[in-house]
Amino acid sequence: MSESWLDTIKSSFTTQTATWFVGVAITILGIFSARITEAIKFALNRADLRTSQQEELSAEISQYIFSAELNTEFVGKGWTTKQTMSDLLREYNQSITTIRRKEFVYSAWVEKYWGRKQAGLYDTFMNSAREFDNAIHSLNDEFEAVNILESKKKIDSKVAEESLKLMRPAVENLRKNGRAFLTSLQ
């Protein structure tokens, strides 16, 4: 009989412990439910924001790289009349202005939503964007002579060749760094 009595106490203790444990767990979840809910909401919002921000950033970077490559190709092939260069230059200026205007916004996004490694890759990309921008500016006097002053029909081929020595490696670097950065966001 004493074994039954001990078994009854043991069973009762186990049942009460389980009941207390469930009660404590429900109480803790009740207290922290707002924090848990907020953490889940933040994680979901972060995922949504990352997707939309990645799309915007990728589109802007792709547009800039394409414009840089197109300008390099046109200068390299001697397609530098006012008619061919006007729209290209306008598009290039819009894309570099957009990407530079939002540079620190994009930098903050990258740091917040992807991390320091990606932020470093973004900085490397932006340095290569500035490098290409400086390279294409070596043709500013020629662009002015062709597009604004109309004192020349096209860019001087010797000046173009000298500028291409800067532009070609800069555009390759831009492409390489843009791809490395965008790939890191996956």
Dump pLDDT digits (tens) for 28-82.
777 777 776 676 666 666 666 778 889 999 999 999 999 999 999 999 999 999 9
Q: What is the set of domains in the chain, with CATH numbers?
A: 53-184 (1.20.120)
The DSSP secondary structure of 131-183, one letter per residue, reads: HHHHHHGGGHHHHIIIIIS---SB--HHHHHHHHHHHHHHHHHHHHHHHHHHH
User: What is the reported pTM?
Assistant: 0.77
Which of 83 and 1 is assigned the larger pLDDT? Answer: 83
The per-residue pLDDT for 46 is 63
